[in-house]
Amino acid sequence: MASRPLHFIWLADGSGSMRVEGKIQALNHAIREAIPHMRAAAQDNPHAAVFVNAIRFADEARWMGEKLTPVSEFRWQDIEAGGATAMGEALAMVGEALQPPLMTDRALPPVLALVTDGLPTDDFQAGLNHLLSKPWGRQALRIVVAIGEDSASNEAQEIFRAFMGNDALRPFHANNPEALAEQIRWVATVVLQSVSSPAGQTPDQVAGISAAGWTASLPLLTGMHAAGPDEADVW
């Protein structure tokens, strides 16, 4: 017997602006501290095999580890800040990865958690288009942890909305290290649990939410235009 693989991918901003006010240290600390909670959340569901990986993006995007790292073995490697914000490249890189052989017929919809303090400096739209051109990219639950006040700008919010692709979702926002740690932990536990939980625990894809319960089938309905439920239903 085998449980179904679920890939959780951190997209961590390592650009120069993250050096300001200790944001990069806060990010490293928050994710490192969240990993044990993530393991515990994964253990609560024996029917999903959770794998974790991360991409750091700055002047370029780069995978931080092997693509298939069981959550029990995943260790966060602190990242340094410096350079530009190749967010679009990171998205394209994830899109490339979310295909066979990594993604099998039996895989669960993956989770992409973007943690950033600002705006991309490369072609974000091209990267997003590439990600969304892949079935697993479209099906992924895409969430954002936005750091600092710059990430609250209209331009940044527009980027985040485009990434999440779901009007019912909002970015998590953190203006200090404590809030960041809390938001990261929430993403690493509650979001992980809801994606890897049975049908009905999370709103379904048909209603516009990517995170369907993992045993629920998602019927393809051409011409179905139902709006999504309230934000409260998601979190």
The residues of the shown chain that bind another protein, judged by CB under 8 A, are: 1-4, 45-48, 103-109, 135-136, 138-139, 197-207, 212-224, 226-227, 229, 233
CB-CB contact of 82 with 115 (8 Å): no
Please identify, using beta-carbon distances, which residue of 105 and 154 lies nearer to another protein: 105
In the complex, minimum distance from the CB of residue 205 to another protein, in angstroms, rounded to a whole number: 7
The closest alpha carbon to 110, from 214, 35, 204, belongs to 214
Residues in CB range of 71: below 8 A, 6 or more apart: 8, 35, 38, 39, 42, 50, 51, 52
Please identify, using beta-carbon distances, which residue of 174 and 234 lies nearer to another protein: 234
In the complex, minimum distance from the CB of residue 2 to another protein, in angstroms, rounded to a whole number: 4
Q: DSSP letters of 152-209?
A: GSHHHHHHHHHHH--TT---EEESSHHHHHHHHHHIIIIIHHHHTSPTTSS--GGGT-
Please identify, using beta-carbon distances, which residue of 14 and 213 lies nearer to another protein: 213
Q: d(Cα 77, Cα 113) in Å, to the nearest integer? A: 17
In the complex, minimum distance from the CB of residue 88 to another protein, in angstroms, rounded to a whole number: 23
Q: Show the tokens assigned to 110.
A: 């993956």
In the complex, minimum distance from the CB of residue 160 to another protein, in angstroms, rounded to a whole number: 22
Please identify, using beta-carbon distances, which residue of 147 and 211 lies nearer to another protein: 211
In the complex, minimum distance from the CB of residue 168 to another protein, in angstroms, rounded to a whole number: 11
**Helix, strand or coil for residue 110?**
coil
Bridge partners of residue 112, in order along the sequence? 9, 142
